[in-house]
Every structure is written in C-alpha cells, then in structure tokens.
Amino acid sequence: MSVEATPPLNPFDAEYIARSNRAILVGLQRPEDTAEEAQALLNELHELVSNLGVEIRDAVIAKIREESPRHLVGSGKMEEIAALARSRECGLIIFDDALSPAQQRNWEKDSLGLRAIDRQEIILDIFVSRAKTKEAVLQVELAKLQQQLPRLKRLWSHLDRQRGGGAMQRDAGETQMEMDQRKIRDKIAKVRRDLAAVVAQRATQRKQRHRVPLPTFSIVGYTNAGKSSLLNRLTGASVLAEDKLFATLDPTTRRLKLPSGRALLLTDTVGFVRRLPHQLVEAFKATLEEAVQADFLIHVVDLSSPERVKHAQTTLKVLLDIGAGERPIITILNKADLADEATRAEALAAHPGAILISTLTGEGIPRLLQVLDDCASENDLKLTLFIPHDQYSQLSKLYASASILSAKADESGTRIVAIIPERLQASFLPWSIKN
C-alpha cells in the first residue's frame, strides 16, 4: 500500500479535531448507473452532510465495475481518495454507499487513521440531532445502537496495537469488547421495551381519534417536498417547515374543516429518502403507522426537483414496505411556482390525475380542498335531525363526530343539519326528519 506514511495524529490534538470535521465525499457509479444519477445522489449526500455542519472540502465519483470487499473501491482508487483527503487536510471520508464494519476498519487501518463513514451513518446522525418527542428519541436511539453493535471491533482496534501479542492482553481486550457488546444488547432490549410502551400509548391515542369517526389523511413524500408546508397552509398549523432534509421527524395531526363543512384529520409524517437505513425503516414503523392507518394518502412530489420521478418511486417503495401500498393516494405536484409550462406538462403526463399546487402562492389549493372534500364525503349522508333536550348525550355525540352545517334550538329540542359519517348513520337515522 503506497498511502503517504504520515503518522496518525493524536485524537486529542487540536489539528486532529479540526480534520475530523472536514470531509471528502465519495459517490459510486456502477456500470448500470448513469453519470447524472450518480451526480444527483452525490448532490443529495452533500446536502445531508451540510446539515451536520461538516465542512466539505471536495467530492469525487468513483467508477467501479464491482465492489471491493476490502475498501468498497479498488486499492488504486482507495489510495487516490486517501491522498486527496490528506492534500485537503481532511480526516473524514464519507461514502454515498453503505460500508460494512470490516470495510470501515480497513479504511482506518490502511489509510493510517482516516475515518470512513457512509450515508446511513450521516442520516442517523441527522435524526439524532432532530428527534424531539419521546417516541422519536427512542426510535433513533434504537437505530443508532443497532448500527453500533457490529462496529464495536472498530472502536477497540487500538488494543491490537497495544497488546503486542500477549495472551493476557488479548483476553482482556476480547473480554472488554464482549462486555461492551452485552451492554449495548441490554440497552437495545430496554429501548425496545420503552418504545413498546410509547407505541401502545400512541395506539390508544389513535383509538381515541377513531372514536371521532372523521376520515383520516396522511401526508407522505420525499423529504423536503413540502409536506409540513402543506399542513401549515391547509390548517394554519405552525409545524417547522425549513428548506432542508428531515426538518421535522415527528408526526403532527390537525383537524381540517373543508369548504362543505365536513371535517377530516390531516397528519404530516416523516419524509423519505433514497438509501434510507433499514434500521430506521424498522425503528420508525410506529411513526409511519400513521400512513398505514390512514384512510387516504396525500403524496407530495417536489415539481421543481429534477429527481422527482426517483423521489416518487422511493416514496411508493417505502409505503409498500410498511404495508401502506394499497391505500388510496392523492398525488400533489408541489412548488408549481418554480416550474415552467414544459415541466408542468411533463410531470402531469408522468402522474395522471395529479394536482398542481404551490404552498407558497396558494395555486391549486382550492382544487385540492375540493378533492379532499370529495374523498371525505364518499359515503357520508346529509341529514336534518331533531334532537330533544332530554337526549343531550346524542347531541353531544353528534357535535363530536359529525360536521354540523346548521343548528337551531327551540323549547323542545335542537334542529340540526349535519353530514354524518357512514359509521354513525344507523345510530342517528331515528332522529332524522324531512326538511
């Protein structure tokens, strides 16, 4: 290996710390990938890494025919990347593809101290920094522990340099690593128990929402497509909606009153991304269950993104993976204010029946509300009811579960015109009267 023989820096040295926050990004282009696809993924990695405050000094795309089991890339490309990192005074190499624990150890060993991490670790770190609710914190912690467990050997690799072949030292090192593995497994078990309790609590909350039998709609889509902005626009909510990946992780549900007077429950969910770590897909099942349980899905696609087709495919694949692939989907092409007519026409051809909107200007919002109204009213029934005063419990139930269009009380009771959800129509029919 002809990597420049610069001795590794002391991990407590100021220069080492500075280099640890400077990175070279590495994308891979396989024979089946186009240069445009490889560059788009590398650009996305650039945005992900930037969210962590890491200084990106350079970025390269490595063309490979097959993956190297030792470094992911061939030995010649490995030396080239390591030399580039040293010339840019970087201590960190970030790959867009997944690295195995062994490949990470090999990079650190063969490059004389350069750290190598991958997109999955970056996404996990972003989720760690953004998680706010107890459920999200637990889900992220579980994913992080599952990611760390097979990589413990890398953390204990310094024992190989210290023990000098002595049997006592080797046993001590192996025992310590085994102890650490056991500690992490114990933590994983505890987090899973805590998460199960939170998931049970969320299930209870969901049952309580279903007692108010309003139709439920979940907003899904690629991260940064404008999901939170849509929720804010429609409901007046104040969910964080920044122009960055994974701006918000926690689901938020708001009640939306439609122009007809009907109401529905609208939920914003965590965004999807290509090459999402499988630990996160599993760990965020509870959060994504909001999409599984919804009556309808609102799929938001960023019309201004040249990668919108890939992003849409990623979202649909994740929905399929979590068991929500059969839900009725309303497709929305957001950020229409940033697209020209040709782009609009092309996108509408690719997504027949989609609705062009702009959460910024309000374009298309009236049409979207009408579509939501049509979906919500598929099986509803408009009734005129008369509820006597001695049936106050029925009146209370009606206000909690139906969309009230008008109400007028007199000495004997209350005359109400309401839109009744299908699930409650039988219980209210005895109180119906003719107009």
220: β partners: 299
Confidence (pTM): 0.71
**Is there a single domain that holds both residue 240 and residue 202?**
no
Q: Of 376, 402, 425, at which residue does a domain stop?
A: 376
How many domains in the chain?
4
- 82/166 same-domain check: no
Token pair in block for residue 341:
């007519």
pLDDT at 76: 93
Task: List pLDDT tens digits, range 364-413.
Answer: 999 999 999 988 877 677 888 888 888 878 888 888 777 788 889 888 88
Same domain, 269 and 354: yes
Enclosing domain of residue 156: 131-211
Say if residue 239 is in the same domain as residue 369.
Answer: yes
Backbone angles phi, psi at 407, to 5 degrees: -150, 135
Q: Are residues 247 and 363 in the same domain?
A: yes
CA atoms within 13 A on the CB side of 326: 2
- Do residues 241 and 313 share a domain? yes
CATH number of the domain where residue 71 is located: 3.40.50.11060
Clarify whether residues 301 and 419 are in a common domain.
no
CA distances for 177 relative to 32, 108, 187, 255, 388, angstroms:
40, 19, 15, 51, 73
Q: Is residue 4 part of a domain?
A: no
Question: Low-confidence residues of the chain, pLDDT below 50?
Answer: 1-9, 11-12, 156-172
| Closest by Cα among 137, 243, 143, 155 to 198 | 137
**164 φψ region: left (φ > 0), alpha (ψ -120 to 50), beta (else):** left
Q: Can you give the CATH number for the domain in which 425 is found?
A: 3.30.70
In a domain, 290, yes or no: yes
The pLDDT of residue 155 = 52
Same domain, 261 and 327: yes
Q: What is the pLDDT, as a whole number, of residue 257?
A: 87
State residue 395's pLDDT score: 82
Residue 390 lies in a domain: yes
What's the pLDDT at 371?
Answer: 95
CA separation for the pair 344, 338 (Å, rounded): 10
At residue 4, the pLDDT reads 46
Question: Is the same domain home to 281 and 317?
Answer: yes
Domain boundary among 339, 356, 376: 376
Q: Is 6 inside a domain boundary?
A: no
C-alpha 15/C-alpha 18 separation (Å) is: 5
Asked whether residue 2 is assigned to any structural domain, the reply reads no
Statement to judge: residues 229 and 369 lie in one domain: yes
What 3-state class would DSSP assign to 257? strand
Domain end call among 211, 237, 264: 211
| 303 domain residue, yes or no | yes
Considering the domain boundaries, does residue 339 fall inside one? yes
pLDDT of residue 170: 44
- Domain check: are 115 and 159 in the same one? no
Instruction: Kindly state the DSSP code that residue 66 receives in the 8-state scheme.
Output: S
Are 56 and 182 members of one domain?
Answer: no
pLDDT, residue 362, reads 95
